[in-house]
Amino acid sequence: MFTNRQYYSTINVTNGGEFGKWTWSEICPEDFYAIGYSLRVEAYQVGGDDTALNGIRLYCSRLNDRSILYTVESHTGLFGDWTQTLWCPSGVLKSFQLRVEPYQGILDDTAANNIKFRCSSSPVLEGFGQTFGDYGKWSDECKEGGICGIETKQEPYQANERLRQEVQLELRQVLGKIEERIQENSVKLSTLTDQLEDLKETFTNRIEMTEHLAASAEEKQ
């Protein structure tokens, strides 16, 4: 939307993720600037695949009139929920800082986890993202006005993000069945051991009785 608006510069950070492609840009209407934002974040997946930050939504208004708002968000990921919106008490968003987890190799990758924006009136607004990785350096500040649009770099949805969870679940189910079998066999083995002990005691008693009878017979002779 409003892609034909003229803008003065593009600001970015140096610690963005190495994978993915730049998606389309979305820009606020003419004379509108970003005054707040919210994030789409997937909650921590215990034992599952984490995607963390999946979307950024900017809220745009005129500099001196917040009665009309527009939202822009570029491409948004599939997972998570939108967080509470954070607003500049006055002024507009001027620069940002990104929290990124480095590439994890064969382990779980989350890449961007959270973001901070600095308002022209000085306050820093930190999003309600995840905590993996570290914040990098701040971007440059907008030279004129404030932030008026967004373009995101995202890796296309990987089927293994959910397939991995399914495999893990299937593995847990198999392991659970194996544990049940082991427990069942342990119970059976314990029962068999008790039965063998009973038989041993019975045979021992019989042997003792036989020996006693044999000794008594010898004495009578």
Q: Where exactly are the structural domains of the chain?
A: 21-158, 160-221
What is residue 26's predicted lDDT score, i.e. its pLDDT? 87
pLDDT (0 to 100) of residue 35: 95
**Predicted pLDDT of residue 106:** 52
Q: CA-CA distance, 199 to 176, in Å (whole number)?
A: 34
The pLDDT value recorded for residue 116 is 92
**Cα–Cα nearest to 39, from 4, 3, 79, 89:** 79
- Print the SS3 string covering 120-153: CCCCEEECCCCCCCEECCCCCCCCCCCCCEEEEE
Quick one: DSSP state of residue 162? Answer: H
CA angle 92, 97, 102 (to 5 degrees): 155
pLDDT of residue 155: 67
Give the pLDDT confidence score for residue 32 in this predicted structure.
93
Q: What is the pLDDT of residue 165?
A: 41
- The fourth-level CATH superfamily of domain 21-158 is Vitelline membrane outer layer protein I (VOMI) (2.100.10.20)
Instruction: Supply the pLDDT for residue 45.
Output: 62
Q: What is the pLDDT of residue 66?
A: 92
pLDDT on residue 82: 92
List the chain pLDDT tens, one digit each, 221 residues. Answer: 455 566 667 888 887 766 667 777 888 998 899 999 999 888 776 555 556 688 889 999 998 899 999 999 877 777 788 999 999 999 999 999 988 887 765 555 667 888 999 999 989 999 888 888 889 999 999 877 899 988 887 766 554 444 444 444 444 555 566 667 777 777 677 777 777 777 777 767 777 776 666 666 566 55
| This model's pTM is above 0.75 | no
Strand partners, 98: 115
